[in-house]
Structures are given as structure tokens and as C-alpha cells.
Amino acid sequence: MKTISSSLTCFFKYYLFPLWTLAVLGLYLMLKDNENFELEGVHFFVVWLLVNIPIFWHTFTLKKVSIDDKQLYVSGYRSTEVILFSDIEYVSGSRFAFPEEVWFRTIDKKTIVFMPKVRFSIFQFQKHPMVEELADKFGLDDW
């Protein structure tokens, strides 16, 4: 069995949000007594909220995905679900997003989203190579 999710999945899913919150709170507490500091706590809350929306949007649904010859093992870190290749009807991926995401839809219309291994490229106009690799493995022509 081979894990196709990034090792950073757990960090993005569980640790990024609290670390960002602590960083903003710490910055506010350091700067609030400075006489040159003109921003109110509301401004920090708005910045925190505006950054948290995309963090939450991109990372909340991330799953850990492993693969073998005939099936996928999808884990939300609490339980693991086994999905046969024949149950996958569609696979696609994001562009211009960090972290990059790959998703697939099962026959019963359930969408599974995971973060593939990170690739460093300036030109991310194409989907992650994992999309094509999975489409070939699942026997899907239209990806």
C-alpha cells in the first residue's frame, strides 16, 4: 500500500488554523500598548477572519489517501474507508492553489479531496500530475 497524500496533510488540516490564530493574537498583544499602533482589535479580527476563510475552505475536507492495486484507502484520521477503483467516476484537481488539491467523485456522488505530494513549480497552469496518474489507474478517459 502506497500513500499518495502529502505528509503535510495532517499539519494543514489540524495545526495551521491554531498556529495562525496564535500568531495573530500574539502580534496583537505585542503591539496593542505601542503608542504608534493605531489599529483596533476589530482590524486584527477582520484580518484573522479573511485569512482563515481560505485556510478553512482548503483544508477542512482534506483526507489521507493510500492506494494499492485494486482500491483506495481514504482516512479522515478517525476512520478509514475502502473504495474500489470501479466505484470512481471522476478525478480532477486544482490549479493556482496552495495547497494543491486532487479530488475524485464516487458513483454515489461522494467527493473525496486530498493534498498530493507538494511540487514546487513557478508555472502551475496545469493540474497536478497525480490527476492524470489516477485517471489512468482508474481507467477514466475524460479527466
In the numeric block, the cell 492495486 is attached to 69
The count of other CB atoms within 10 Å of the CB of residue 21 is: 14
User: Which residues fall within 8 angstroms of residue 90, CB to CB, at 6 or more apart?
Assistant: 104, 105, 140, 143
The C-alpha cell at 30 is 505585542
> 21-36 pLDDT, tens per residue?
898 888 888 877 777 7
> 70-87 pLDDT, tens per residue?
999 999 888 999 999 999
> 52-111 pLDDT, tens per residue?
888 888 788 899 999 998 999 999 888 999 999 999 998 988 877 777 889 899 999 999
Is the pLDDT confidence value at 40 over 80? Answer: no
Type of residue numbered 19: L
Maximum distance among all alpha carbons in the chain? 64
Instruction: Compute the distance between CA of residue 100 and CA of residue 26 in angstroms, rounded to an integer.
Output: 29
Type of residue numbered 78: R
Start-end of H helices in the chain: 9-10, 16-31, 41-59, 129-138
Strand partners of residue 58: none
Specify the pTM.
0.77
